[in-house]
Every structure is written in C-alpha cells, then in structure tokens.
C-alpha cells in the first residue's frame, strides 16, 4: 500500500481511527526474524491454489506440484498490508517456480518450458508466516477460477499491488509470450482483482482472498523480438481517501516501441477493476522514460512520477518528472521536471564469448549485447572487466499519505543516485557513470508540494561512508514515513571502483543486506537506520540466461499503516553454489558466481542441459520482515 505522512490524524474518519487503534499501532514495528514468502521447497509448505484457499476443496495441477518442489527463482517483490486489518499482508513477485513442469528431454534434463507468473503470498498473522500461491490464469491452470482470467499470455511479471478500503486487492502485471509457442511477444498489461468471499461486511481476515477476475488494461502488438508496441514497467494505486475519487483504481506503465523510444500511459478504473479507461499519454515532449509510480494525496489528487533521460543539445542527463491530475485521474496537467540527478547505473563493455554447445536449459536466455552492457557474467554475457554483476540502476519511487488532512498535498520521493564527489576512475571498463568511471550510490529523499510546485532539496537518508544503497522504496498511510533499501555496507570487498560483492581478484563475497528507517515528522528527521535482513547474501549468482548471468529484479517494496510496516526483498541465502561443467577447460575468473548444476558430456563433446535444476542452484527467494 502506498501513502504519505501528514501531521493531522484528527481529520481521519472515525471508522479508520478505530481500525488503527485495534491494530495495536501504539508502538513502532521492530524487525523480527526474516520470513520466507516463496515456499517453493519440499522443506517448506509448498504452493496451494487460490481456489483451495477460498473453498477448502483440494485442487492441484502440474504447475502447483512443481512449485512445491522446485527450489526455483523469485525476484521483483511487491507487498501490501490490508488497510482494514494489518494481520492481512499479501506479497507477490516474478515467480519462476513452475518453469520445469513439462517433463525431461532425451538426456534426462528437465525441460524449461513452464510459465513465469505472478506469485500470490498471503499472511494472516501480520507477516509471521505466508501461504504461497499463484495468481490464477497461468498456463496449465484448470481450476474453476482459471476462466475468470481474461488474459492471453503465457508469462507475466513486474507485479504491483494496491488495496482499496473495502477489502479488495488489485494486482497489476506486464505479460508476454504466446501460449501457442510462437514468437509473438504480445506485451500486454493486466490487473487482477481479489475480494472478500463474503463481501465488504465479511471477516476482514478474508479480505483480498478470492480471485474474481483479471482484465487486460492495454494490449501490445504481436510482433516477434519485442519489435512493435510492448507494454512494461507497471505501477498501481487505489484511492482510499474520503474524496469524491474514493474507490478509483489507477494504473500506469511504460510503452516501448520497436523503433526506439518509450512513453508513459495512465489508466483508471471507476468500477473496482472490472474495466479500465483508454490510456492517457503523460509524456508528450520526451520519449526516453520509464519506471512510473503513482501517489494519491488525501484530497484525491493523483501524481505520477517518472524516471527520464533528457537530452539538451549534446548533453544528456537524468531527471524525475511528474504529472498531476486534480479530477480523479480523468485528465492531467503537462508533465514537469521534479529534479535532475546523476544516476548510478552499473555498466561495462560487453565481450561476448562462445557458449559451449548444449541445449537451452533456461526459459530466459541471455540477450547478447554489443557495446555497453548492464549486467555481466559468462560466455555470451561476459564483459571486458571480468566482473560479474546483476543489473541495477537509479529509479524513483513516490508515495502520499491518503489518511492525512486534505489540505496537505505533499508527495514524497526516494531514489538512489551517485553521491556527488564520489566519482572515481575504476581502472577497468566497469563503471556507474560511464565505463571506466565509478561512484558510490546513496539513497535520497525529497518532497514535492503539489499545491505550490515547491520541491525540497534531495537529502541522504543514511549518509554511510562505505557501501552502496540501491532500490529504495517509501510508504506511509497514517502519519509515519517508512523507507527501505538494499545496502552493501557489510561488503568486505566494497569499493566504488567495483560492482557489489566483487573482490579485486574477481572472486565473490556476500555483500548485500536490507536496511530501513522511518520518520514521524514528514521527513524532517529520520531514525537511525536498522539492518532488517538477518543474513548478508551474495547477489551475483549466475542463475539466468542458461546459468550465465545474475538477475535480482528492478525493485524492493515496503508497505505500512501508521507505525506498522513490512518490507520485502529478493534473497540468495538458500542458493547452492557449484561449478559450471561447461567451464572445465576455461579460465573461470568469477569464482563463487557459478551455481550448482549437473551436466554430462556427450560423446561429441557437447554438454547436456542441467540435470538437477531442483537441487538448489536456482534457489532465489523472496523474504520479508517487519521494518522500523
């Protein structure tokens, strides 16, 4: 749930005040033990159909069975706490747990042809434990709820979540791939709706439980290789205010086109997710934009923040833009610049090498890049520096407190960017400003007064001397701001000249944690940051692109209601390291990045696919915890 701080809770409706008091919000949250949301392991609780969660009637299928044993990959988590009952928390992610549900090839290697889909992870004990499921409508879903999914794609990702104040949960997604197996990419975006099976007056512990529908918000063009119109980079919010806009659901995404360029489109639903308006173009004067986020102020005004690359003459610079609507999202004022900044964008020079002959054993093969690369690994994904690292860039997130006084129209923004003065030559082709120039990344906070257009200076949330801060997210509903981010202060090999968890000799070390902080005065002051994650993990395991390149996703997520807050992140603590048998005769310079895999050598010298993908080499998970 997204929101923002305001000092005057007296203006909140009496019914909302009662809910806050009943939820036990007198004391601030303190981090507890980390909790696993994605229980895709025989040692955990496995996955269960939403149909079974609602009705109690047993149902399973090959996808759910595979998800209960796969020890697969999950990333890009989202999470949202029920504003009617903080015992109910729902999370989601890109969930790869079912990709090996389609038998074995002639060598006995499991075939990677199952769906990548949205996870649905539900807690009814304030995040102490989660039941894992999938959003209905995935390929192979034959449950009675499958027909409620009016979508046309084989894979889905970029999950985003929002609650209204009537027990409804909305889950947004980008989606692609043709279930028939053709090269059509579709590139749609859709929104699913979950409701209380007994309606708004039902037990609030069952809010957001029953999958009711999913509808396509915008369609892409069925062109191969992402050539055509492709919808991506999603955002969602619901209006929980006491304004005339209450109950509206808002969605935004980036629209990419095959000939280059992108734009941001906005949609609204005035019938609780049953249908959405045609897209409103928000970016008419720029075409290199993505990462929208939506904030709704207590008076019902809608703000969309946008990450942009602007071009002026021979200069190119990073900026955060924003668009404002004062009529419940029906129309928007022209987009304006909120701030400019120097980004932190991990990059290197691609140096693709031949991949040893073997069948595809990954549903997502690496994209062979020339020139600048955003992530680096082995073979086709190799880079000149010899480092291995996951993709990470600067990206703004925004929020507003829907429970504040309607006269307060503040929007809160966080982003990570290069800390001025930390620029340094790296001595290699790796960089964060450009190849060969590195820097330190810090998490920053700033405010926009929507009524006046005034923007505060960006300030660092936690000015640590050593370590990078990535993917900050912010939330508030009920008077307190909460922020969390990835943090590498515990990286023993930290240097602004190297990627996270990379030592100078190209070996790997655990280097990534989650930290969080909070503010009770609108961001004027912040509490000392707290380490939320219990385990420092190593994020550069080569689990994607046929076991050649790492990927951690493009965001973390935090949700809150007053003092109560809960955060989620991608985590590698359960990944089993190993050796890539294809590198037996190669000089592998990224010791510690390879994951467990089992490959036999055929008589012709080629290798089989991975014979043991369920043994932990792909075990990337979503974890969460209470946050300050």
Residues 6+ apart with CB under 8 A from 408: 6, 7, 8, 297, 298, 401
**Residue 550 to residue 391: CA distance in whole angstroms:** 8
Question: Which DSSP helix (H) or strand (E) runs through 301?
Answer: none
The series of mean pLDDT values per 10 residues for the chain, 628 residues long, is: 31 35 39 93 98 98 98 98 98 98 94 95 98 97 97 95 98 93 88 98 98 96 71 96 98 87 96 97 92 98 97 91 98 98 98 80 54 95 97 97 97 98 98 98 98 98 97 96 98 98 97 98 97 97 96 97 98 97 69 94 93 98 97
Q: What is the largest distance, in Å, between two alpha-carbon atoms of the chain?
A: 77
Q: For residue 185, what pLDDT is reported?
A: 84
Q: For residue 247, what pLDDT is reported?
A: 98
Domain ranges across the chain: 9-626
515, β-bridge pairs: 485, 531
- Both tokens of residue 63? 């996808």
Give the pLDDT confidence of 146-196 residue by residue, as tens digits: 999 999 999 999 999 999 999 999 999 999 998 888 888 889 999 999 999
Q: Are 302 and 308 in contact (CB under 8 A)?
A: no
Q: For residue 230, what pLDDT is reported?
A: 85
In this structure, what DSSP letter does residue 383 have? B
Q: Are 39 and 200 in contact (CB under 8 A)?
A: no
Q: What does the angle CA 601 – CA 603 – CA 608 come to, to the nearest 5 degrees? A: 35
376, β-bridge pairs: 389
Query: How many C-beta atoms surround the C-beta of residue 204 within 10 A?
Result: 20
Give the pLDDT confidence of 304-323 residue by residue, as tens digits: 999 999 988 888 999 999 99
Total-model pTM: 0.93
Q: Pairing mode, if any, of strands 149-150 and 210-218?
A: parallel
Classify burial at 558, counting beta carbons within 10 Å of its beta carbon; exposed 0-12, middle 13-18, buried 19 or more: buried
**Residue 409 to residue 401: CA distance in whole angstroms:** 9
Residues 6+ apart with CB under 8 A from 274: 193, 213, 215
**Residue 260 to residue 364: CA distance in whole angstroms:** 22
The CATH code belonging to domain 9-626 is 2.120.10.10
**Residue 430 to residue 436: CA distance in whole angstroms:** 5
Q: Are 342 and 417 in contact (CB under 8 A)?
A: yes
398, β-bridge pairs: 413
- Both tokens of residue 512? 């990534």
Q: For residue 183, what pLDDT is reported?
A: 82
């Amino acid at each position: 749930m997204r929101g923002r701080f305001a000092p005057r809770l007296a203006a909140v409706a009496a019914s909302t005040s009662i809910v806050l008091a009943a939820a036990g919000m007198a004391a601030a949250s303190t981090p507890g033990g980390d909790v696993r949301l994605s229980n895709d392991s025989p040692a955990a609780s496995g996955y269960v159909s939403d149909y079974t969660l609602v009705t109690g009637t047993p149902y399973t299928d090959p996808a759910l069975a595979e998800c209960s044993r796969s020890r697969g990959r999950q990333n890009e988590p989202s999470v949202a706490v029920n504003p009617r009952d903080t015992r109910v928390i729902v999370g989601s992610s890109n969930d790869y747990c079912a990709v090996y549900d389609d038998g074995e090839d002639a060598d006995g290697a499991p075939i990677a042809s199952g769906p990548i889909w949205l996870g649905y992870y539900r807690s009814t004990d304030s995040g102490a434990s989660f039941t894992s499921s999938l959003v209905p409508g995935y390929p192979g879903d034959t449950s009675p709820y499958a027909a409620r999914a009016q979508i046309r794609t084989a894979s889905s990702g970029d999950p985003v979540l929002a609650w209204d104040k009537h027990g409804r949960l909305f889950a947004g997604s980008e989606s692609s791939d043709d279930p028939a197996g053709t090269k059509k990419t579709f590139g749609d975006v859709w929104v699913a709706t979950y409701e209380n099976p007994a309606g708004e007056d039902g037990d609030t512990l069952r809010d957001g439980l029953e999958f009711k529908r999913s509808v396509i918000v915008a369609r892409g063009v069925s062109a191969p290789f992402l050539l055509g119109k492709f919808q991506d980079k999603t955002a969602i919010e619901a209006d929980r205010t006491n304004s005339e806009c209450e109950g509206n659901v808002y969605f935004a995404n980036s629209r990419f086109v095959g000939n280059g360029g992108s734009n941001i489109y906005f949609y609204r639903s005035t019938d609780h997710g049953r249908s959405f308006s045609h897209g409103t173009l928000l970016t008419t004067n720029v075409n290199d934009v993505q990462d929208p986020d939506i904030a709704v102020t207590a008076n019902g005004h809608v703000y969309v923040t946008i990450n942009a690359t602007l071009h002026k003459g021979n200069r190119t610079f990073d900026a955060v833009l924003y668009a404002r609507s004062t009529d419940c999202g029906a129309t928007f004022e022209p987009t304006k610049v909120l701030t400019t900044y120097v980004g932190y964008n991990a990059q290197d020079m691609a140096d693709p090498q031949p991949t040893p002959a073997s069948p595809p054993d990954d549903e997502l093969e690496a994209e062979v890049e020339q020139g600048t690369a955003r992530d680096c690994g082995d073979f086709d994904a190799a880079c000149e520096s010899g480092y291995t690292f996951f993709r990470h860039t600067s990206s703004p997130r925004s929020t507003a407190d829907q429970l504040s006084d309607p006269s307060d129209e503040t929007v809160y923004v966080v982003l990570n960017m290069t800390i001025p003065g930390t620029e340094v030559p790296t001595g290699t082709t790796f960089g964060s400003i450009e190849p060969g120039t590195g820097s330190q990344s810090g998490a920053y906070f700033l405010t926009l007064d929507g009524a006046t257009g005034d923007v505060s200076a960006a300030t660092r949330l936690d000015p640590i001397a050593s370590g990078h801060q990535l993917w900050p997210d912010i939330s508030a509903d009920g008077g307190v701001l909460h922020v969390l981010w990835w943090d590498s202060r515990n990286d023993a090999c930290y240097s602004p000249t190297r990627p996270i968890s990379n030592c100078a000799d190209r070996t790997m070390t655990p280097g990534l944690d989650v930290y969080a902080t909070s503010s009770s005065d609108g961001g004027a002051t912040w509490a000392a940051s707290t380490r939320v994650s219990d385990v420092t993990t190593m994020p550069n395991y080569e689990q994607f692109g046929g076991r050649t390149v790492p990927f951690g996703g493009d965001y973390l997520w935090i949700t809150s209601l007053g003092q109560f807050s809960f955060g989620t992140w991608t985590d590698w603590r359960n990944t089993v390291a190993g050796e890539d048998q294809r590198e037996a005769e190669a000089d592998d310079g990224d010791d510690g990045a390879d994951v467990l895999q089992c490959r036999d050598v055929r008589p012709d010298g080629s290798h089989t696919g991975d014979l043991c993908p369920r043994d932990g080499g792909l075990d990337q998970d979503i974890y969460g915890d209470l946050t300050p």
